[in-house]
Amino acid sequence: MHDTTALVEARIHRFIDERLRPNVYAKRVPLTLVSWEVPGEPVPFSEAVGQAYTPFAVGARWGRPWGTLWLRMTGTVPDVQDGQQAELVFDLGFNDAEPGFQAEGTVYRLDGSIVKAVEPRNAHVPLEARAGEHFELYLEAAANPDVAEGFRNFRPTLLGELETAGDAPLYTLRQADIATRDLGVWNLLQDATVLSQLMHELPASSPRRAEILRALERMMDAADPDDITGSATDAQAELAHVLSRPASASAHRTYAVGHAHIDSAWLWPVRETQRKVARTFANVLSLQQEDDEFIFAASSAQQYAWLKRFQPDLFARVGEAVASGRFAPAGGMWVESDTNMPGGEALARQFVRGKRFFIEEFGVEPLDVWLPDSFGYSAALPQIALAAGSRWMLTQKMSWNETNVMPHHTFFWEGTDGSRVFTHFPPVDTYNAQLTAAELAKAERQYAEKGRANTSLVPFGYGDGGGGPNREMLAAASRLRSLEGSPTVTLSSPTQFFEAAEEEYPNPPVWSGEMYLEFHRGTYTSQARTKRGNRRSEHALREAELWATAAALRGAEYPYDELERIWETVLLQQFHDILPGTSIGWVHREAERRYVEVLASTERIIAKALGNVAGDGTAQLVANAGPFALEGAAGMGITAAERGGAKPATVARTASGFDLSNEHLLVHVDDSGLLASLVVRATGRETIAPGEKGNLLQLHRDTPTRWDAWDIDEHYRRHVSDVTDVESIEQIPHPTAAVVCVIRGRGATRITQTLTLAADSRALDIETMIDWHERQKLLKLAFPLDVHADHASSEIQFGHVQRPTHTNTSWDMARFETVAHRWVHVGEAGFGVAVANDATYGHDITRAPRVGGGTTTNVRLSLLRAPLYPDPEADQGEHTFRVSIRPDASIADAVHEGYRLNLPLREIMGADTVAPVVTVSSDAVVVEAVKLAEDRSGDVIVRLYEAHGGRAQATLSTSFGFDRVIETDLLEREIERSALTASGDQIELTLRTFQLVTLRFTPTAP
């Protein structure tokens, strides 16, 4: 038999594109249009509907960048025949980029309720009027620019700021029609598309492939090119047999979960996300009217909260869909946050605030952690998720690894304390699937659990910029439910999938520790002001809640509403494209403004609470919100300010620089402002490696291959220059501390460093102020240490992780830039060094041999970057970083340093000292939060954890009387005791390694 396969395949491709697609709509009639352009930011329907509209026509240009055009649309519903459907069809000027990255719109009824969105690849809107009836609708068209340029380029763009984006129209309205859809032709198109895609995934020698090919050939022969509509039924009949063949019993099983990954901000501002949520959810509700089996999952309580605020009618409809099981709140977090950089309490609050919203609004508690797109996953997350009552975890991002392939798709993920959460990576390798045959074949091919399990999840629907599933995807799901040659497809919710996967695979393998993404390593450093705002806000909220609790226990009103609003702002800005620094400039400038507001609000709460607690008076007091005693001030208490005390530190000018000394340390700063020596007085041990200098600023070329703000590529290390030129260096007078200030310049960039050795301090503090005007550069601060360290310990949420300093394996080699919170620690037997910071997350820690023997461990902090995309002004301007280096330090000392640097003492005036709300007898047990209960009962919540990495016993005492104490989950619901061993007047605790514990006290009534 002659082989005509290639010719027939070419004919099929052309037939689908040139015969079927153009004939889906049998007739089109233009709408009558009038328009009003919003002069500034978007306005609600109630304001837009009353404006003066002027005539508008298809072919007209519209839409300045980030602008909005309202169209009033009128027409008459046409008569339709059986098998036809009248609907509106639009082309706002769409390009070939993905939906969500360009123009999109929302169609409103006259009462202000939303009908559906208008987006690329989902541009139809159902007509609700009957044939012959006149209708009037409004279209809110958003001229969102394609900042990504289809992700073909990563060039600096002016489109990311409203002030620089310009006023020239971006789009041309190409279509606004009343169209008659021929359901026969549309269904034939879906049949042919699914079969053609499946055919191309089957082996060339497969009989099934040949069977499909010939069926499609007969379909084309049966279709009359001059009357596709009239011949569609006959053509479809030729495909019935091949579509009826069921999947094999061993076919891979996919659970297709409809969703739309909506970034809470990214290449668009937060205000546009608020509209994207409404568009996407309206699309879903419209689609659910057509398909009874379609279930939609959506994460991020923040997005539902926006909908409730801005589109209450749509929110009510979503609530009805949730109640019927068609709409599944997922994830249980306030937003799909970054998990590397949020502090422990903040990451816990993502679940507390998120789950509270879903429970209060819908009576539903999501049990999954839904984080498909965050940039790596902290080893603390399993414990936090389980403590929040969650059971399952989903992500896809680890498939982006540059070097290593994760060995599992379904597994237990074990956290730092031994907690395990059932986790799934969709082997389809996308969270924006379209249910194509190629995607399903990839899922089956890549699935790593073959022979032990056979089920995976496919998240489908347009995402990142929202949009969600469309009717073509559901048509594919219907045809692929059970089709020979393909995995099976079951429309599902996340819960249905996870329950099935757990039942099928009750004893999966275990992955222990962090899930480090071998990609996007620059996210630990980009947009330093956003990161500083996050760190400062987290600690300000700790103080505000602590002192407000102390005041409430004395009868003051607790600021529940204000604290909740502040937390919501901070949690929103931990979204995985805001805190990592990967959004357009608009987003980061707005984030910086909001952090200023957060700090102003928390300062008001703190000042008021401290005034209530300390009372009116002239005594000089010190308020210490940290968990440890500091400079004589009790942890979490108010103490009288000390006068005198330790012997002052001294500073002396030498021939080569300055000698700084106190009772614990001898420091030599050379004439270049570099740390030439750091000696522990008691032992004479030198900290700085022989022949090396600490406090060394190093500037690297930083030109990632593609994702500028996201990535630090390994080749950056090959291009480095030391910043050692000095404009001035001098001693700064201080009554008790030894202080040296050095000023450096490099072109337009100015750097001022202040090195301070305080009296009685066991650490040298370094403040670095930078007026930064570099481009595509990475600035690091280096400390080459005379330590042979096999690993580095880095603080994460509620504990720390250890990472090798060597590169024995490809996994070690790929981990060349790492994240830490307030401190890192390196050490050898008997001697360690802690390096703490107040606003830095990115680090690299390496070990190198020395001539003559021995090794140097080099600890470097990544201070600043200057990527050009998506924000060409990223990091430009003034920054301040504070770092401390403490020699002869244990892990316990490192923990102390981290809190000291991030929670400085407050000097206040008051009447008297105040005992801490709680005290703990062991430094290994650290109190992370003291607050009042979320249910506003007045109960006191104390959250604490084991910080040193071992078992710990401690006694907890309170300064208030209580009738009852229980152990709870993060949502403050009682759980079985695991750490609480006795609860009389004092609380006895026994904690396992890194255990997170929440205690709930019911205070004695006054």
- Residue pointed to by tokens 């805190």: 579
Is 777 within 8 Å of 700 (Cβ atoms)?
yes
User: In this structure, are strands 104-108 and 124-126 parallel, antiparallel, or unpaired?
Assistant: unpaired
For residues 840, 763, 900, 829, the Cα torsion angle rounded to the nearest 10 degrees is: 80
CB 669 within 8 A of CB 815: no
Ranges of H-type helices in 84-169? none
Instruction: Quote the CA–CA distance of 425 and 410 in Å, as a whole number.
Output: 6
893, 932 in Cβ contact below 8 A? no
In 865-947, DSSP assigns E strands to 877-887, 906-910, 918-920, 925-932, 940-946
Q: Are strands 410-414 and 510-512 parallel, antiparallel or unpaired?
A: parallel
DSSP line for 185-230: HHHHHHHHHHHHHHHHHS-TT-HHHHHHHHHHHHHHHHSBTTBHHH
With beta carbons less than 8 A apart as the criterion, state whether 588 and 528 touch.
no
Q: What is the DSSP string of 285-321?
A: HHHHTT-TT--EEE--HHHHHHHHHH-HHHHHHHHHH
Helix axes 585-614, 528-552, angle to 10 degrees: 20
From CA 47, how far away is CA 64, in angstroms rounded? 20
List, in sequence order, every residue forming a beta bridge with 968; answer none if it has no partner.
974, 998
Q: How does DSSP assign 483-506, residue by residue?
A: -TTS-EEEE--HHHHHHHHHHH-S
Strands 392-394 and 420-424: parallel
Active site residue 713: no
**Phi (first) and psi of residue 232, to 5 degrees:** -65, -40
Q: Are 825 and 834 in contact (CB under 8 A)?
A: yes
Q: Do the beta carbons of residue 795 and residue 912 sit within 8 Å?
A: no
Please tell me the distance from the alpha carbon of residue 745 to that of residue 1006, in angstroms, as a whole number: 62
Candidate list 373, 711, 713, 838, residue with the active-site label = 373
The identity of residue 568, as a single letter, is E
Cα 969 from Cα 780, distance rounded (Å): 40
Task: Report the distance separating Cα 336 and Cα 374, nearest Å.
Answer: 7
Ordered DSSP codes for 790-804: SEEEEEETTEEEEEE
Give the whole-angstrom CA distance, residue 459 versus residue 442. 14
Distance (Å, whole) CA 371 – CA 576: 10
Which of 335, 418, 321 is CA-nearest to residue 369? 335
Place of tokens 């198109």: 189
φ, ψ for residue 983, nearest 5 deg:
-145, 60
For the purposes of burial, counting CB atoms within 10 Å of the CB of 745, is it exposed (0-12), middle (13-18) or buried (19 or more)? middle
Distance separating the N- and C-terminal Cα atoms of the chain: 96
Distances (CA, A) of 914 to 551, 611, 896: 11, 12, 22
Cis-peptide into 916, omega within 30 deg: no
Using CA atoms, how far apart are residues 146 and 980, in angstroms rounded to an integer?
Answer: 55
> How many other β-carbons are positioned within 10 Å of the β-carbon of residue 863?
25
Q: Which residues are catalytic?
A: 373
